[in-house]
């Protein structure tokens, strides 16, 4: 493994219960993985040099009622951190695959515990995790927590919400402002622990000197606009004060949900200075699959060494159980019957749901239909133009 680049990282994290909810189901992590230094409480910002095992920032937003959301979020943070600290140092592609596996294993652990414990049935959590081993930030995404990058006075979202509202925005059926008032804005399309497997979306950001990364739950980016977030980060260079100011902004909007903020500032000789031609946004990242190990002696066949000591969901679940349950977890303080009620009753304000595979199909139909209606509306509204052409957004 080559010597880590000269990069220093200042990190800060904090979570707040908000003004409406009785307990906090959010969780966060800021960590120097190489030095095994981890913070998940309100400690002051700390700075460290990037080591060969890298750095990690993580935000989880639990759901499931009672204390189950807290359990899922804590399990996810612990499992991902453990996977990174116990693995060997890896170059970027290997590190990205490791981060993806870590999120998948977190999903497996939560799914099994949810299945085996009646009081935690249906629990789940979003997860946005950002890791670094060189000058490129690797982001793993499940759900609708977000990662932003502040660079040269501009703020850019570098993740895509895995939600019904975001699907409709991308289909052109509604604007981001309309999405905030969308009746089904609480529906997310993936969460850890809800189904036996997840599709981890990876993205990447080539960092520049002075970049600030913000990871946050929807308790912040829901009530507080991107413009307001930008204003706080630009006017307050101190990470501690910036984090407190962001949380206060959400509290000023009645704090309808738990609020979690993690911040990191990157510096060092290994990073280039920002340039006018830099464009920051979502950039998908495919690090490829893990290499296939050599077959064992004696013709037994190949063994994936990364799975040693980690039972798969399929190995633990009784035959015929996979796919049998389709409960829809919500962010409520309900009992373990919340999943059943969620299929029969509309959600309370602030709840989020994760649909089953059938709901996935219905979402796709809705998005396609909405997109088609929008296109036809554009054509109708602009049919009177003199040149006869339609300009689509």
194 and 67 within one domain: yes
360 and 239 within one domain: no
What is the extent of the structural domain holding 261? 8-267
Determine the pLDDT at residue 180. 77
231 and 370 within one domain: no
End-to-end CA distance of the chain: 46
Determine the pLDDT at residue 321. 32
Would 309 be classed as within a structural domain?
Answer: no
141 and 24 within one domain: yes
Question: Quick one: how far is CA 391 from the chain centroid?
Answer: 34
Would 360 be classed as within a structural domain?
Answer: yes
Of 220, 246, 267, the residue at which a domain comes to its end is 267
Would 170 be classed as within a structural domain?
Answer: yes
Determine the pLDDT at residue 217. 98
Determine the pLDDT at residue 2. 67
**pLDDT in single tens digits along all 393 residues of the chain:** 668 899 999 999 999 999 999 999 999 999 999 999 999 876 789 999 999 999 999 999 999 866 799 999 999 999 999 999 999 999 999 999 999 999 999 999 999 999 999 899 999 999 999 999 999 999 999 999 999 999 999 999 999 999 999 999 899 888 888 887 788 878 999 999 999 999 999 999 999 999 999 999 999 999 999 999 999 999 999 999 999 999 999 999 999 999 999 999 999 999 999 999 999 999 999 999 987 665 544 443 333 433 333 333 333 333 333 333 334 444 433 333 333 223 223 344 445 656 555 455 555 555 555 544 333 333 333 333 233 322 223
208 and 74 within one domain: yes
Would 306 be classed as within a structural domain?
Answer: no
89 and 203 within one domain: yes
- pTM of the predicted structure, to 2 decimals: 0.77
Tell me which long-range contacts 310-318 makes (C-beta under 8 A, separation of at least 24): 310/105, 310/108, 312/108, 313/108, 313/111, 313/112, 313/196, 313/197, 314/196, 316/112, 317/115, 317/196
Q: What is the CATH number of the domain that holds 96?
A: 3.60.40.10
Would 281 be classed as within a structural domain?
Answer: no
Determine the pLDDT at residue 368. 53
Would 262 be classed as within a structural domain?
Answer: yes
379 and 230 within one domain: no
Of 241, 267, 293, the residue at which a domain comes to its end is 267
Of 267, 286, 304, the residue at which a domain comes to its end is 267
238 and 103 within one domain: yes
How far apart are the C-alpha atoms of 331 and 133, rounded to whole Å?
Answer: 34
Counting every residue written for the chain, the total comes to 393
177 and 79 within one domain: yes
Would 171 be classed as within a structural domain?
Answer: yes
Determine the pLDDT at residue 210. 98
How far apart are the C-alpha atoms of 334 and 22, rounded to whole Å?
Answer: 12
**HEC states along 189-240?**
CCCECCCCCCCCEEEEEECECCCEEEEECHHHHCCCCHHHHHHHHHHCCCHH
Would 331 be classed as within a structural domain?
Answer: no
Query: How many domains are there within the chain?
Result: 2
């Amino acid at each position: 493994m080559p010597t880590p680049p000269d990069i220093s990282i200042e990190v800060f994290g904090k979570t707040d219960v908000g003004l409406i909810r009785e307990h906090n189901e959010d969780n966060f992590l800021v960590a120097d993985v190489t030095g095994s230094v981890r913070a998940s409480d309100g400690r002051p910002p700390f700075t460290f040099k990037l080591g060969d095992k890298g750095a990690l920032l993580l935000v989880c937003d639990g759901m499931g009622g009672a204390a189950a959301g807290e359990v899922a979020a804590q399990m996810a943070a612990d499992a991902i951190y453990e996977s990174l600290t116990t693995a060997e140092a890896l170059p970027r592609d290997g590190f990205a695959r490791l981060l993806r596996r870590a999120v998948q294993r977190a999903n497996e652990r939560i799914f099994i515990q949810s299945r085996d414990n009646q009081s935690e049935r249906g629990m789940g959590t979003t997860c946005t995790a950002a890791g670094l081993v060189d000058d490129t930030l690797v982001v793993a995404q499940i759900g609708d927590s977000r990662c932003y990058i502040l660079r040269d006075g501009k703020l850019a979202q570098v993740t895509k919400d895995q939600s019904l509202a975001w699907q409709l925005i991308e289909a052109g059926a509604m604007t981001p402002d309309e999405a905030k008032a969308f009746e089904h804005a609480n529906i997310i399309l993936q969460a850890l622990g809800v189904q036996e497997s997840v599709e981890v979306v990876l993205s990447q950001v080539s960092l520049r000197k002075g970049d600030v990364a913000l990871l946050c739950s929807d308790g912040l980016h829901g009530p507080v606009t991107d413009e307001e977030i930008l204003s706080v980060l630009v006017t307050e260079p101190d990470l501690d004060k910036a984090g407190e100011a962001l949380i206060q902004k959400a509290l000023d909007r009645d704090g309808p949900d738990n609020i979690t903020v993690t911040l990191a500032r990157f510096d060092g000789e290994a990073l280039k200075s920002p340039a006018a031609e830099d464009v920051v946004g979502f950039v998908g990242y495919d690090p490829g699959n893990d290499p296939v190990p050599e077959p064992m002696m004696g013709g037994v066949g190949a063994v994936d060494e990364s799975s040693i000591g980690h039972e798969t969901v399929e190995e633990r679940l009784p035959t015929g159980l996979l796919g049998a349950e389709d409960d829809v977890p919500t962010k409520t303080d309900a009992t373990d019957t919340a999943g059943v009620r969620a299929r029969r009753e509309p959600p309370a304000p602030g709840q989020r749901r994760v649909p089953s595979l059938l709901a996935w199909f219905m979402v796709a139909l809705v998005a396609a239909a909405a997109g088609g209606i929008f296109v036809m509306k554009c054509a109708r509204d602009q049919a009177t133009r003199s040149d006869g052409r339609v300009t689509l957004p």
